[in-house]
Amino acid sequence: MKTIAAHAVAVACMLMASAPAARPESSDLDPRIVKLVQSVSEDRLVAILKKLESFGTRSTLSSPDKSDRGIGAARNWILKEMSSYSPRLQVSFDMYQVAKQGRITHDVEVRNVMAVLPGRSPRRVYVSGHYDTVARPGGQGTANASGPAFRDPDAPVTPVADPNAPLDNLAPGVNDDGSGTALTIELARVFAQSGVDFDATLVFMCHVGEEQGLVGARLHAEKAVAQKIRIDAVLNNDIVGNDRGGNGIVDGATIRLYSDGPEDSPSRELARFVQRWGARYVPSHRVRLMSRPDRFGRGGDHSAYNQFGFAAVGFRESRENFTRQHDVRDTFESISPAYLAQNARVNAAAAATLGLGPAAPVVVNERGQPTIGRQPTGYDANLRWTAAPGAVGYRVFWREAWGPDWQHDLLVGNVTQTTLPNMQIDDYVFGVAAVDADGHESVVAPYVTPPRQGGPVKTVQ
């Protein structure tokens, strides 16, 4: 290991040639992740979507007892399907009793379907979608109705007087959110059958009750906090299967990724990571970062995890057709299987890199203050961090203080401190990621100044 002084000299030389955003050659890619990405099956995604559609409705309030229709039949099939993939995959119901409230018109038992692929460490990486559906009572009458040119998909669905009425309310939900559910189920298969030994524990979660206010996700996130379960990342997928917007614009080459702020929140760092590594393994599919929690005035299950302090992001198709959301016309005909498969591959690349790589280094002290300073001259950036298990080196990132994304990065070796000469910490934002022996990186841990807590100003009475 280099001494700090010698390392600072080496860094000073390397800074002269530093370049924005290093992008590796194909030889730098992990063949295990390449194989994982290539293993995503468009045919299997189609089969899953058609099966989900066959249940007629997957309303949270629909029948839990029917064998071929409603929420009970759907969740039982998802459980059985994922259980068939590998004995390595631990599949179970994550169950809660929910009282009548809001859009829950009667007491109901809700069940997330959870598939856990144990890793060498307990830290978790989630891939998720929600399998419940909703459509307005009466809808457009039939799945082939023309309907209006536009209707707000998030306009309130008026509760019906009869709590059993949802049993007969057609709500196929193939895109919202059969697409995210199918992606999650398919990646459970791909990862479980890969034979890859991951450091992180991978969790493939099919949430329920999203349409009633993120119920399943909120309950699970709350339980994770209570049980002190470490969740490093949640990749949530909701409406990710259609490439043709309601305005006729087609975009099958990009996907939107929403993340909650502020600038260097855990959610934003996860979004940057997904874009960075998705581009490496799926270069033909661009991740478009969106600096807001979700689409304007809308939300998804990732929001529930963010609210409980976990890093979570939301994938959304780039071109939505609002006339097919929360509507009986949300059928298989609205899906582009090739586009959905590409979105699944981006998820696979990000989840696999997170799962194989080390955890992020710690860049704060025991008081929560960032371990960054101006030593030794007052005009240099001195960065310190706590070593991450499994790391053999670290990559330092920086950008101008007004920049939205990392502009430069530098591999600094197996040290826990480095000095960047003549780079004032007032002018740049810095971060550091852990790197393992195979080149996998952690999410960047940024040096962020905690908000000042000003006390009340006393005045003379």
* Mean pLDDT, residues 89-118 taken together: 96
Report pLDDT digits (tens) over 318-330.
Answer: 999 999 999 999 9
The token pair at 110 is 């809700």
Q: Dump pLDDT digits (tens) for 335-344.
A: 999 999 999 9
Domain's final residue, options 289, 323, 356: 356
Q: Where are the beta strands (DSSP E) in 118-245?
A: 124-130, 201-207, 231-237
Residues 289 and 394 in one domain: no
List the one residue out of 288, 295, 242, 234 whose CA is nearest residue 266: 234
Whether residue 32 is contained in a domain is answered as no
Residues 166 and 265 placed together within one structural domain of the fold: yes
Query: Which of 356, 387, 413 is where one domain is finished?
Result: 356
Decide if 437 is inside a domain.
yes
| Residues whose CB is less than 8 angstroms from the CB of residue 18 and which lie 6 or more positions away in sequence, other chains included | 408, 409, 410
**In this predicted structure, what is the pLDDT of residue 13?**
43
223 and 174 in a single domain? The answer is yes
Is residue 254 assigned to a domain? yes
Domain identity same for 69 and 126: yes
Supply the pLDDT for residue 154. Answer: 60
Decide if 457 is inside a domain.
no
| Together in a domain, 17 and 51 | no
Q: What is the pLDDT of residues 365-401, one digit of tens each?
A: 999 999 999 988 889 999 999 999 999 999 999 999 9
**Average pLDDT in the 179-201 region?**
98
- Specify if 194 maps to a domain: yes
Q: How far is CA 14 from the centre of its chain?
A: 34
Domain tally, the chain: 2
**Separation CA 404–CA 185 (nearest Å):** 33
Number of H helices, E strands in the chain: 9, 15
Cβ-count burial of 411 within 10 angstroms (0-12 exposed, 13-18 middle, 19+ buried)?
middle
User: Does 63 map to a domain?
Assistant: yes
Q: Same domain, yes or no, for 69 and 135?
A: yes
Co-location of 307 and 221 in the same domain: yes
- Which of 237, 220, 118, 253 lies closest to 182, judged by CA? 237
361 vs 416: CA distance, rounded Å:
9
Averaged pLDDT score across all residues of the chain: 89
Examine residue 31 and state whether it is found in any structural domain, yes or no: no
Q: What is the model's pLDDT at position 1?
A: 41
Q: Are both 418 and 347 inside the same structural domain?
A: no
For the cut 70, the answer to whether the pLDDT of residue 123 exceeds it is yes
Q: Is residue 461 part of a domain?
A: no
pLDDT given for residue 24 in this prediction: 41
Check which CATH number belongs to the domain holding 151 and give it. 3.40.630.10
> Is there a single domain that holds both residue 396 and residue 292?
no
User: What CATH number does the domain containing 15 carry?
Assistant: 2.60.40.10
Asked whether residue 340 falls in the same domain as residue 388, the answer is: no
Same domain, 128 and 275: yes
Whether 240 and 339 map to the same domain: the answer is yes
Question: Cβ neighbours of residue 216 under 8 Å, at least 6 residues apart?
Answer: 94, 96, 110, 111, 112, 130, 132, 207, 208, 209, 210, 301
Examine the fold and report which residue of 321, 356, 391 is the final residue of a domain before the chain moves on: 356
Q: Looking at residue 78, what is its pLDDT?
A: 98
Which residues, including other chains, have CB under 8 Å from residue 296's CB and lie 6 or more apart? none
Domain that holds residue 193: 39-356
Higher pLDDT pick, 297 / 2: 297
